[in-house]
Chains A and B, each alone.
Chain A
């Protein structure tokens, strides 16, 4: 662990903060808090009760995670303009935090619990995944020492967090839409699909947890399972859906989905533009068809399709938005898992 090397030259107060950071950041408390927040969020959406207490737990979870984030920023000893977004672990931690902050703003505006639930589930998923990757405080390479790079990563991370939240909204949305359509084949196909996919969604990360030496293989299969889940759910929806399946809850989910899609699309586009500006300064080229850049473009195109098709999709607008949001979130997952660990490129962590 490079933490010791980083801290060896750190002042005493920072070394003391380090022990606080390790006690908080290394603990399961953020996970537990967001887990409770997600459970209460689910109860709040279903029963329309526990509004204030759910919001308080969610706010406390965010504050706790923000504390861990700021502590890591201070302990790492980096410049003030370089937040901890320099590696996979930090990017994931930041995406959970920034996604939840965006969701809190939306929740305070909408007050329907949808964004809160989606972001709490997203945070649980991400904090679980954080336990699989190296979280040591290694010194970052000098090429990353740029405010432009920090802005680029932070904004992209917001975009990815929001795309992740659309995944968590679109999936149950499609599930509910298919489930409500008449006839038993729809229900049977949904159950069969879940039975086929969910063990993979949970099983691969669990296996990676148990056997770290199989982490790369598990990450690949987990990524593939996510894509199958995303594409399969969308395909099922198209095959079986009846457009007359709207309800207040689904309408709320759809409304949240489209706004999150807008935020995600704007953030990923702006982040990619800032990345181009940094790439021009750092590498001498603003665009290089690096796998990460290509998959960011794919995510943007998919979100733009969702936004452009929606006005002309009539009664199926919610369905189409959900399908393309799922695909965009799938592209985001490929970017995080496959591109980061398996493909060679300037952004590769492999």
Chain B
């Protein structure tokens, strides 16, 4: 008898109302805290703030209530016409939960981005998967430009409990190991002159009397790097030779760089002492010798600038490390260790949900350099989408947007994506996301992309809940009232 009692105890608990009320109250309290103070709740539970609604506390409460709905309906509500409402609403919760589970487990969601180029909008055939994280490695060799190869090294999604640590992944001769995951990190940066690869860099400070800025100018393998200080272009060339210095004074730089603006070129090299070439917009050029730490005053047509090279590196290396943040402003980050042949390096990579907006972290070694990015996983789409025309329609007062309309080609067929007008292609849906930089002249358009498996079950469940509630709350009492009246 006691054994039977013990065995049936969970079912009895599920079938009775009070335990479920207690669980419901816990769920309500949890949802309230998680919604009002997600950071505090996450730090109390040691969880990721973005995954609070998938935390075991929430899932356990939800599972209990779902089980209670099933058990108590079967045990306590005999099926009859009067009980149709309760059965329908309770069945609706079960169907809804099943649909939502399928949607979470089998569906995918993320963002797809198209850029405007000289040849029109770039084609969309992949998207960045939401709630995921991956280490993307872009290898750069010497002075070559980007994208020699890309090695997506997948790690566990951040939101599913952290990163796979200590596991080395290798591709193309590059071995990358994630040694540390810091959920809320501050990235500490330090420049040192200890790179095994010749890597010129300069710490440049500019002051125009109203504002002053400092910048570390490093070409990362490229011969020169530019920096725009207001309407003045500053260029640093760290491996210049004397012939180049002479050429600078006689030949004006390409129009695509200076665009009619004044230009300050900092030159340095093995046989060239640190010097500044002032290239004025009117075509005049002047060479001024410099020394590290000493400012030079430059009078330009519009304003006067003080420019100084505070420090000059010949073998610059940026050392970064992710350390736990003392405040709530930290971002998820990983510390990685890279081995490439006999060369080793380490770097900290902050998580960037949309990787394409951020510079990659760089590691430089013997005649090779590595660029890495800690961002979302990139997933191929089963469809190809190209924007033909993007149109922004403002409201009559010009202050709000009436529509963001894109005429697109999906697998060659014309379609439209606008506000409240998503595009559906097979299992996939595309909705308007963000337009950057200007709405009426966008250079980048981001669509929300989702495949919603289980959506039919979700709508069925929600429909059953609404219909069941209507019957139970209004029709059933009306029928009961009529019956009482007849009696």
Minimum CB–CB distance for A82 against chain B, Å = 12
Encode contact with A along B9-42: 1 for CB under 8 Å, 0 otherwise. 0000000011011001101100110111000000
Q: Is A270 in the interface zone, CB < 8 Å from B?
A: yes
Query: In the complex the two chains form, what is the Cα distance from A183 to B212 in whole Å?
Result: 74
Given A284-B429, A284-B450, A286-B458, are A298 and B393 also a contact pair (CB < 8 Å)? no
Contact of B399 with A301 in the complex, beta carbons under 8 Å:
no
Contact of B28 with A265 in the complex, beta carbons under 8 Å:
no
Which residues of chain B come closer than 8 Å to A312, judged between CB atoms? 17-18
Which residues of chain B come closer than 8 Å to A307, judged between CB atoms? 473
Query: In the complex the two chains form, what is the Cα distance from A141 to B392 in whole Å?
Result: 13
Contact of B396 with A139 in the complex, beta carbons under 8 Å:
yes
Contact of B109 among A2, A143, A278, A285 (CB under 8 A): A285
Q: Is A5 in the interface zone, CB < 8 Å from B?
A: yes
Contact of A309 with B422 in the complex, beta carbons under 8 Å:
no
Contact of B35 with A285 in the complex, beta carbons under 8 Å:
no
Q: Is A29 in the interface zone, CB < 8 Å from B?
A: no
Contact of B452 with A142 in the complex, beta carbons under 8 Å:
no
Contact of A305 with B21 in the complex, beta carbons under 8 Å:
yes
Which residues of chain A come closer than 8 Å to B352, judged between CB atoms? none
Contact of A309 with B419 in the complex, beta carbons under 8 Å:
no
Q: Is B122 in the interface zone, CB < 8 Å from A?
A: no
Contact of A265 with B466 in the complex, beta carbons under 8 Å:
no
Contact of B400 with A140 in the complex, beta carbons under 8 Å:
yes
Looking at the complex, which of A42-50, A65-73, A91-99, A289-297 is the stretch in contact with chain B? A289-297
Taking chain A's interface residues, is the majority helix, strand, or loop, or is none over half, making it mixed? helix
Contact of B109 with A294 in the complex, beta carbons under 8 Å:
no
Contact of A5 among B393, B396, B430, B449 (CB under 8 A): B396
Contact of A289 among B53, B396, B399, B455 (CB under 8 A): B53
Query: In the complex the two chains form, what is the Cα distance from A297 to B31 in whole Å?
Result: 9
Minimum CB–CB distance for A314 against chain B, Å = 12
Query: In the complex the two chains form, what is the Cα distance from A285 to B451 in whole Å?
Result: 10
Minimum CB–CB distance for B194 against chain A, Å = 43
Query: In the complex the two chains form, what is the Cα distance from A307 to B86 in whole Å?
Result: 12
Contact of B422 with A281 in the complex, beta carbons under 8 Å:
yes
Which residues of chain A come closer than 8 Å to B18, judged between CB atoms? 309, 312
Query: In the complex the two chains form, what is the Cα distance from A146 to B419 in whole Å?
Result: 9
Minimum CB–CB distance for B140 against chain A, Å = 35
Which residues of chain B come closer than 8 Å to A273, judged between CB atoms? 462-463, 465-466
Query: In the complex the two chains form, what is the Cα distance from A263 to B429 in whole Å?
Result: 34
Encode contact with A along B415-426: 1 for CB under 8 Å, 0 otherwise. 000011110000
Contact of A294 with B419 in the complex, beta carbons under 8 Å:
no
- Which of the listed residues A6, A142, A263, A266 has the most CB atoms from chain B within 10 Å of its own CB? A142
Minimum CB–CB distance for B479 against chain A, Å = 15
Q: Is B395 in the interface zone, CB < 8 Å from A?
A: yes
Encode contact with B along A1-43: 1 for CB under 8 Å, 0 otherwise. 0100110010000000000000000000000000000000000
Minimum CB–CB distance for A180 against chain B, Å = 26
Interface size bracket, A side: 35 or more
Q: Is B402 in the interface zone, CB < 8 Å from A?
A: yes
Q: Is B470 in the interface zone, CB < 8 Å from A?
A: yes
Contact of A301 with B28 in the complex, beta carbons under 8 Å:
yes
Contact of B420 with A309 in the complex, beta carbons under 8 Å:
no
Contact of A269 with B31 in the complex, beta carbons under 8 Å:
no
Query: In the complex the two chains form, what is the Cα distance from A283 to B459 in whole Å?
Result: 17
Encode contact with A along B380-403: 1 for CB under 8 Å, 0 otherwise. 000000000000010111011111
Which residues of chain B come closer than 8 Å to A304, judged between CB atoms? 24
Contact of B395 with A295 in the complex, beta carbons under 8 Å:
no
Which residues of chain A come closer than 8 Å to B27, judged between CB atoms? 301
Contact of A139 among B395, B419, B430 (CB under 8 A): B395
Contact of B35 with A295 in the complex, beta carbons under 8 Å:
yes
Query: In the complex the two chains form, what is the Cα distance from A141 to B401 in whole Å?
Result: 6
Q: Is B321 in the interface zone, CB < 8 Å from A?
A: no
Minimum CB–CB distance for A158 against chain B, Å = 14
- Where the two chains meet, the residues of B that have a C-beta atom closer than 8 Å to any C-beta of A are 17-18, 20-21, 24-25, 27-28, 31-32, 34-36, 53, 100, 109, 393, 395-397, 399-404, 419-422, 429-431, 448-450, 452, 455, 458-459, 462-463, 465-466, 469-470, 473-474
11 extra A-B contacts, CB within 8 A, seeds A139-B399, A142-B402 = A5-B399, A139-B397, A141-B395, A142-B404, A269-B465, A273-B462, A280-B429, A284-B448, A285-B448, A286-B452, A312-B18
A-B contact pairs, 5 of them (CB 8 A): A266-B470, A278-B420, A280-B452, A286-B458, A289-B35
